[in-house]
Amino acid sequence: MTTLADVADAAHVSTAAASLVLSGKAKGRVSEATAARVRAAAEDLGYVRDALAGGMRNRRTHTVGVLGESVLSTPYAVAMIDAILTASRELGWSVLLTDSGGEPEQTRRAVRELRSRRVDVIVHAAMYHQQVHIPAEAANVAVLNGFADRDGVIGVVPDEETAARDAVTHLLDLGHRRIGHITHDDTTIAIGLRRTAYEDALREAGITPDPSLVVSGGNDPTGADASARRLLERADRPTAVFCYNDGMAAGVYRVAAALGISIPGDLSVVGFDDLRLISTNLSPQLTTMRLPHYQMADWLVRRLITGDLPSPATTHRFHCDLIVRGSTAPASA
């Protein structure tokens, strides 16, 4: 970590002068030109002034800093934050939360703010499975629900491929052979991984994937309904559909009801995420893959706090459970 002495050396001033500038007490005591030089050196070196007393510099605060990327306002945040708070409380630590909105400059400022509060570790929580930029000044940081853009940073993500394969295998085991896939027209990592696994599961069952049974569209109710209609209005419609997420599965329910298609009598549906506001409020309740946000956060925080981190630091994939409910049934003759 950059020290005050490092800044003073870089600016060619005494440590006392650097301290006056960075503590806001330089007026009338240090020239403006010298003060500007000190501030520039601090900026270049990524120096963060300790917000606590100087005597705390070498002590631990037993605090976990959580930096969200637009995640704290999402449904996933409930499980993540619950796990972080529970694990930290059980181990006698406190938690400090902030959110950058995913903007690089805000992320950098948030990291500096957390460091100024002397947090011992930082959990960078991503809104969805993605690569995360870790500012150079971030130390003792790990990524929740993503992976870092540089080496030496541990990350945890859902095992997207195995989960999607399990979803499709569930339908295959029920006798379905014509299985459609509704996905999102975006380039996020999960989209590609889930589609690849869908196709691999079909091939493993001796079925050649039919590209016409893969429909992509907007990740909103209008887009979900449009995608579902493209599949279900076909004369040779599939007997089952694997959906990229539960919201798209809800679109299948709406269109199926409008077309007089029974779920699961005529059509089996599997979602992904297990967002309870959707999955347990559909009728019949939705069979879906449950994202392991609680387990990922719990595992990561406990290891950060105890220092029991695997070496080398890599990205760890967590199993997603198949939650079987009433939307899947054996394929009808």
How big is the CA angle at 195 (ends 193 and 196), to the nearest 5 degrees?
65
Which pair of tokens denotes residue 49? 């002034």
In 3D space, the residue among 217, 186, 213, 187 whose CA is nearest the CA of residue 198 turns out to be 213
Categorize the per-residue pLDDT at 54 as very low, low, confident or very high, splitting at 50, 70 and 90: very low
Q: Residues 38-54, buried b or exposed e (16+ Cβ, 10 A)?
A: bbebbeebbbbeeeeee
Phi and psi torsions of 268, nearest 5°: -95, 145
Domain co-membership, 275 together with 170: yes
Of these ranges, 11-15, 94-98, 183-187, 222-226, the one predicted with the greatest mean pLDDT is: 222-226
Percent of the chain with pLDDT strictly greater than 70: 95
Q: How many CA atoms does the CB half-sphere of 317 hold within 13 Å?
A: 10
Q: Which domain holds residue 216?
A: 160-291
Domain co-membership, 141 together with 231: no
Categorize the per-residue pLDDT at 59 as very low, low, confident or very high, splitting at 50, 70 and 90: low
Domain co-membership, 130 together with 191: no
Q: What is the pLDDT of residue 190?
A: 93
pLDDT in tens, 298-333: 999 999 998 888 888 889 999 999 999 999 999 986
Q: What is the pLDDT of residue 1?
A: 66
Q: What is the pLDDT of residue 134?
A: 79
Q: Is 116 inside any structural domain?
A: yes
Q: Is the pLDDT of residue 128 over 90?
A: no
Q: What is the pLDDT of residue 55?
A: 39
Domain co-membership, 203 together with 286: yes
Q: Is the pLDDT of residue 130 over 50?
A: yes
Mean pLDDT of the chain: 90
Q: Is 325 inside any structural domain?
A: no
Q: Which residue has the tokens 């790990």?
A: 142
Categorize the per-residue pLDDT at 265 as very low, low, confident or very high, splitting at 50, 70 and 90: very high
Q: Is the pLDDT of residue 237 over 50?
A: yes
Residue type for position 17: A
Domain co-membership, 169 together with 287: yes
Q: Is the pLDDT of residue 46 over 90?
A: no
Q: What is the pLDDT of residue 50?
A: 60
Domain co-membership, 181 together with 249: yes
Mean pLDDT value of segment 195-208: 97
Q: Is the pLDDT of residue 81 over 80?
A: yes
Q: Where are the alpha helices (DSSP H) in 266-306?
A: 276-279, 293-306
For 6, the 3-state DSSP assignment is helix
Domain co-membership, 138 together with 70: yes
Q: What is the pLDDT of residue 326?
A: 97
Distances from the Cα of 204 to the Cαs of 63, 159, 207, in angstroms?
48, 19, 7
Q: Is 56 inside any structural domain?
A: no
Domain at 312, CATH number: 3.40.50.2300
Q: Is 333 inside any structural domain?
A: no
pLDDT in tens, 106-119: 888 888 888 888 89
Q: Is 135 inside any structural domain?
A: yes
Burial class (CB in 10 A: 0-12, 13-18, 19+), 188: middle
In 3D space, the residue among 76, 78, 261, 177 whose CA is nearest the CA of residue 251 turns out to be 261
Residue type for position 12: H
Q: What is the pLDDT of residue 186?
A: 82
Q: Is 299 inside any structural domain?
A: yes
β-pairing, 240-243 vs 214-217, is unpaired
Q: Is the pLDDT of residue 57 over 80?
A: no
Q: Is 215 inside any structural domain?
A: yes
Categorize the per-residue pLDDT at 138 as very low, low, confident or very high, splitting at 50, 70 and 90: confident
Percent of the chain with pLDDT strictly greater than 90: 63
Domain co-membership, 108 together with 165: no
Which carries the bigger pLDDT value, residue 12 or residue 26?
Answer: 12
pLDDT in tens, 238-264: 999 999 999 999 999 999 999 999 999
Which pair of tokens denotes residue 169? 């295998």
Domain co-membership, 217 together with 98: no
Domain co-membership, 143 together with 70: yes
Domain co-membership, 169 together with 102: no
Q: Is the pLDDT of residue 229 over 60?
A: yes
Q: Is 101 inside any structural domain?
A: yes
pLDDT in tens, 172-181: 999 999 999 9
Number of domains making up the chain: 3
Categorize the per-residue pLDDT at 43 as very low, low, confident or very high, splitting at 50, 70 and 90: confident
Concatenating the DSSP letter of every residue in 92-161 gives: T-EEEEEE-TT-HHHHHHHHHHHHHTT-SEEEEEEEEEEEE---TT--SEEEEEEEESSTT--EEEE-HH
Domain co-membership, 127 together with 177: no
In the DSSP assignment, the letter for residue 174 is T
Q: Is the pLDDT of residue 52 over 60?
A: no
